[in-house]
Amino acid sequence: MANVIKTINENTTFTAYFQCMRLHRNLVFATIDSLQLIFDKEKQADKVLKNTLKRDKRWGSRDRSFIAETTYDIVRWKRLYAEIAEVKEPFDRPNLFRMFVVWATLRGIKLPDWPQFEGTPTRKIKGRFDELSKIRRIRESIPDWLDELGKKELGDRWDKEIRSLNELADVVLRVNTLKTSVKEVQEILSEENIETETIKGYPSALRLIERANVFTTKAFKDGWFEVQDASSQKVAQFLDPKPGMRIVDACAGAGGKSLHIGTLMENKGQVVAMDIYESKLIELKRRARRNGIHNIETRLIDSTKAIKKLINKADKVLIDAPCTGLGVLRRNPDTKWKIQPDFLSEITNKQKDLLDSYSRMVKPGGDLVYATCSILPSENEQQIKDFLTRDAGKEFKLVKEDIVSPHDSGFDGFYMALLKRNNETHE
């Protein structure tokens, strides 16, 4: 239980600040408004907050941080707080204020004399917290089905992993070595009072010592770095791209890994970045221009022809597959409330189809990397085992795999498998 309250307290960067400051009505109300959209309208937390934080230009960085951190915290601990507050979904505004009271009371924050806080049993909160923290699914604030699934797939590891996934994610940067160096980015950010540290084993990574808005810095606008978790940075390194190669990023999205691949290729060769969403590819083009990367070509997958044109043509193919996203709950805590039990079977079938289809783009003797940001073996090791037994996978052999544990690494949970295709050609 001590670990739980420690995790909860550490998750809010400005707790000490707000313990000695009074709560401001407009900030609390903005938080409640955001929670109502996330919980009751099922909107994505990051998009809701992006809009909320534009509401009042007078808000400073501390104000915005309070809204963002508090909203994410209550989303992260929704089940625990709701149980303590004795409220049930769908949450009306009085329910959300009761949950806010739980959040504030567990941090020792003094509540103002507002009508919204009348009748809240603050004295009972600590006692209910101690009692409910004995039950893992409530203590870690997850749905029953997810707790059962995690235990089934990970066994005793599940306790450590889910506890780790409830911690606040570090802000990690990936330095664009086409334009600058890690040391130079450290120095220029330090001039703006943003202190960073290098991370052993991650040659292009910098971790922020304290959270800050790096997107407003000149270094970011000039394309000197991207925000990318350390585990995510491992994927392009695992693929091991070389200048002059033709590499396909088959599920590129907005292109964080495509950009890293292009950087490692030193702008020589070709990165074919593919996705089913044109809006994401448009964003990737914008990011590539800012990064000064010229060897990325985007292609929309709007029919099977897009894949057929590249059969046997790629030196390396990356399938950064859609998944449950359980490895990135630290930064996307609303995911655990949005996904449903039947989603796992849907997504594993999708992963199977992608492996069978996209693996055909690897030319004889080439490499295939399959990656997910999940920690479930059914999406990872088992997918690869099954693929190697099917006709589509019989031309491949598993070279190596990397299972990145959130608990052990301190970063997002990821899985990567490197497969080598044999030298025989089959159209």
335 close to 326: Cβ distance less than 8 angstroms: yes
- If phi > 0 it is left, if psi is from -120 to 50 it is alpha, else beta; for residue 86 that is left
Q: Which two tokens stand for residue 233?
A: 């940075």
Task: Spell out the residues 6+ positions from residue 10 whose beta carbon is closer than 8 angstroms to its own.
Answer: 167, 168
Joined together, the tokens standing for residue 165 give 């996934």
How far apart CA 348 and CA 335 sit, in angstroms, is 17
Q: Are 76 and 12 in contact (CB under 8 A)?
A: no
Structure tokens given for 53? 């934080």
> What's the one-letter identity of residue 417?
A
Which tokens belong to 60?
Answer: 């400073």
Alpha-carbon gap, residue 275 to 286, rounded angstroms? 15
Q: Where in the sequence numbering do the catalytic residues fall?
A: 373
d(CA 389, CA 346): 20
Neighbouring CB atoms inside 10 A of 23's CB total 18
Cα–Cα distance, 175 to 390 (Å, whole number): 40
DSSP string covering 97-143, please?
HHHHHHHHHHTTPPPP--GGGTT--HHHHHHHHHHHTTSHHHHTT--
Q: What is the DSSP letter of 281?
A: H
Residues 300, 301, 303, 307, Cα dihedral to 10°: 120
Cβ atoms of residues 121 and 128 within 8 Å: no
Q: Phi and psi for 133 in degrees, rounded to 5?
A: -70, -5
Question: What's the CA gap between 274 and 234, in Å, rounded?
Answer: 20
387, 355 in Cβ contact below 8 A? yes
Element (H, E) at 17: helix 15-19
- Alpha-carbon distance 194 to 149, whole Å? 40
